[in-house]
C-alpha cells in the first residue's frame, strides 16, 4: 500500500472565515486518500531579519518551520491578494526560506484566491520560480471572485473552479511522482 504524501500548506490569510482556508479544505477533502496535509501556523514566524539568518541566531520557530518543509513531500500555497501583492505573512515565510535550498525542486502547487488576484498570482509565480520550486504545468491556478464560487458550507459549487482544482491536483500528483523517480 502506498504511503500518503506529506503536504505542507502555507495559507496567506489569517482570517477566521477565510475563503482561502475553505479552498484549501476543498483541496484536502479531494485528496484525503492520497495526501496528509498540514496547515503551517505562519503567524508563529518572526519578521524576517538577515542578521538572524545564520547558524548561531536563527530563531527556533524558523528552524521548526524549515524542518517541516524538509520532511514534506510537497508544498501547497493558497493565498489572497492584498493591495495588489502577496500578504505580508506569506512573503515573510518565503523570505525565511531563501537562504536555504529547501524549496529548490520541491514539488509545489499554487492557488491565489481573491477578488481579482492577478498581481499577487504573478508575483507568487515569480517568487517561487526564483526560489527554484518545482511548479508543474497546471499546478498553478488563479481563482477570481472567490466568494462567489463557494456555498454557505464552504464547498466549491462553481464547476469551472472545481475543474481547475482537479486539474491542479492531477498536475501536482504528477510532479510529486516525477520528483520521487528523479
Ligand atoms: C487589506 C486588504 C487588501 C486587499 N486588497 C486586495 C487586492 O489588491 N486585490 C484583490 O483581489 N482583493 C483584495 N482584497 C480582498 C481579498 O482578496 C478578499 O477579501 C479575499 O477573500 C481574502 O481572502 P481570505 O478570505 O482568504 O482572507 C483585500 C483585502 C484586504 C483586507
Domain ranges of the chain: 5-181
The domain 5-181: what is its CATH number?
Answer: 3.40.50.360
Give the residue ranges of DSSP H helices in 72-134.
88-95, 118-131
Torsion of CA 84, 13, 144, 35, to 10 degrees: 130
**Residue 1 pLDDT > 80, yes or no?**
no
Q: Tell me the per-residue pLDDT of 86-125, one tens digit each, with 9 for 90 and over.
A: 999 999 999 999 999 999 999 999 999 999 999 999 999 9
Distance 139 CA to ligand 1 centre (A): 22
pLDDT for res 91: 98
Q: Which among 41, 18, 28, 42 is positioned nearest to 113, based on CA atoms?
A: 18
Burial (0-12, 13-18, 19+ Cβ within 10 Å), 122: middle
Cβ of residue 136 lying under 6 Å from some atom of ligand 1: no
Q: Distance (Å, rounded) from C-alpha 111 to C-alpha 90? A: 13
Q: How far is the CA of 117 from the centre of ligand 1 (A)?
A: 8
Q: Are 133 and 104 in contact (CB under 8 A)?
A: yes
Ligand 1 pocket test: pick from 114, 123, 124, 161 the residue with the most ligand atoms within 8 Å of its Cβ.
Answer: 114
First and final C-alpha spacing in the chain: 21
Amino acid at each position: 500500500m502506498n504511503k500518503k504524501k506529506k503536504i505542507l500548506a502555507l495559507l496567506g490569510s489569517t482570517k477566521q472565515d477565510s475563503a482561502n482556508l475553505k479552498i484549501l479544505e476543498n483541496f484536502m477533502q479531494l485528496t484525503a486518500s492520497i495526501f496528509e496535509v498540514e496547515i503551517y501556523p505562519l503567524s508563529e514566524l518572526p519578521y524576517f531579519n538577515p542578521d538572524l539568518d545564520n547558524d548561531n541566531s536563527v530563531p527556533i520557530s524558523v528552524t521548526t518551520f524549515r524542518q517541516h518543509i524538509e520532511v514534506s513531500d510537497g508544498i501547497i500555497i493558497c493565498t489572497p491578494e492584498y493591495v495588489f501583492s502577496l500578504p505580508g505573512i506569506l512573503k515573510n515565510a518565503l523570505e525565511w526560506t531563501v537562504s536555504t535550498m529547501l524549496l529548490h525542486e520541491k514539488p509545489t502547487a499554487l492557488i491565489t484566491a481573491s477578488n481579482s488576484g492577478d498581481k499577487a498570482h504573478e508575483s507568487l509565480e515569480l517568487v517561487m520560480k526564483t526560489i527554484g520550486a518545482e511548479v508543474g504545468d497546471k499546478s498553478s491556478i488563479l481563482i477570481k471572485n472567490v466568494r462567489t464560487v463557494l456555498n454557505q458550507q464552504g464547498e466549491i459549487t462553481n464547476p469551472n473552479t472545481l475543474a481547475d482544482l482537479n486539474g491542479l491536483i492531477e498536475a501536482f500528483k504528477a510532479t510529486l511522482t516525477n520528483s520521487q523517480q528523479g
